[in-house]
Amino acid sequence: MAIYGLNSIRTFSNAVSNRVVNAFPTMTVNSDKANKAISWIGKHISSPENRLILGVSALMSQPFIDLHNKKVDEDTRKVSAARTVAKIIAGTSTGVLIRYGCIKAIDAFSKFPEEITATTKNPRLKTFFTPFEAIKGGLRDLRHYKSALGTLVSLGVMVFTNFLIDAPFTKFMTNKFVDKIHEKDSQKQVQNKEVRDAA
C-alpha cells in the first residue's frame, strides 16, 4: 500500500516535472564563476550544510508565518512563534553538529587500503566502513559515500538526542522567550494605563 502510494507520488511528480522541463527555455551557464560555483556546491554542500541552510531560512520565514496566523488569538500567535524560534535553534544546532560529527567519525573508519601501513593500529577497524569496491580499487572518491553514511548514522543518533537534548533545550528557550514576551506585554499595559490616567 505504502509502495503503491510512493509510486503514485513519483508518477505524478514525474508527469509534472516533464511538463515543467518542456516549458523551460534552453539555457547556457556562460560565466566561469557561476560554473565553478555550481561545481563547488555539488562537491562541498552535503547534509550538515543543507541542515544549516534549512535552519537559517526557517528562522527567516516560520516565526512570521506563525505571527500572521489570523485563525488564533494574538497571545497564541506570539507564544507559537517563540516556540518555533526555540525549536529551530535547538534542532538546527544539534542537527548540524551531529551530522558533522558522524560524517567525521565515518571518515576515520573508511580509509583506503593504501592509507593502511604496517604501523597502523586496528587496520580492520580503520576500513570498517570502506566499501568493498574501494578496497578492490574500483571506487576512488568516497566523499559523497561518507556524507551519505554519516548522515544515515546521524539520523539514528538523533532519534535519541531529539528527546535528550532538543526537547529540553526547546522547552528551556521557549520559557525564556515567553517570559520576555509577557514581561514586555505587562510593561506596555502599565505604560498604557499611565497614559490613560494622565489624560
Partner 1 sequence: MPLKPSFLAPFNEFVAKHYGKDTGKMLIHTGVVGWILSAAAQVMAIVVNDKIPKEQKMYLVPQELADAGVNILSFYTITQGCKSVASKLVKSGKLLPKTIRGILDAKGLTDKVGSKGFDIFKDAALTPAAIKRLEKFKSGVDVTAATIGSVLSCNIVTPIVRNEIAASRQKDLVARMNNADTNHSSYVKPGYAYIKHPSMYDFTHNSSSLKV
- Contact characters 83-122, partner 1, x per CB under 8 A: xx--x--xx---x-----------------x--x------
Binding-site size, partner 1 (CB under 8 A) = 86
Query: From the CB of 194, what's the least distance to partner 1, in Å?
Result: 28
Distance CA 153, CA 103 (A): 8
Position among 57, 186, 191, 192 found at the interface with partner 1 (CB under 8 A): 57
Distance CA 33, CA 48 (A): 24
Q: Are 20 and 12 in contact (CB under 8 A)?
A: no
> Per rule CB under 8 A, is residue 177 in the interface with partner 1?
no
Query: From the CB of 197, what's the least distance to partner 1, in Å?
Result: 30
> Per rule CB under 8 A, is residue 163 in the interface with partner 1?
yes
> Per rule CB under 8 A, is residue 42 in the interface with partner 1?
yes
| Long-range own/partner contacts, residues 48-53 (CB < 8 A, 24 or more apart) | 48/95, 48/96, 48/99, 48/100, 48/103, 51/92, 51/95, 51/96, 51/99, 52/92, 52/96
Q: Are 94 and 135 in contact (CB under 8 A)?
A: no
Judged by beta carbon, residue 53 or residue 190, the one nearer partner 1 is 53
Query: From the CB of 35, what's the least distance to partner 1, in Å?
Result: 5
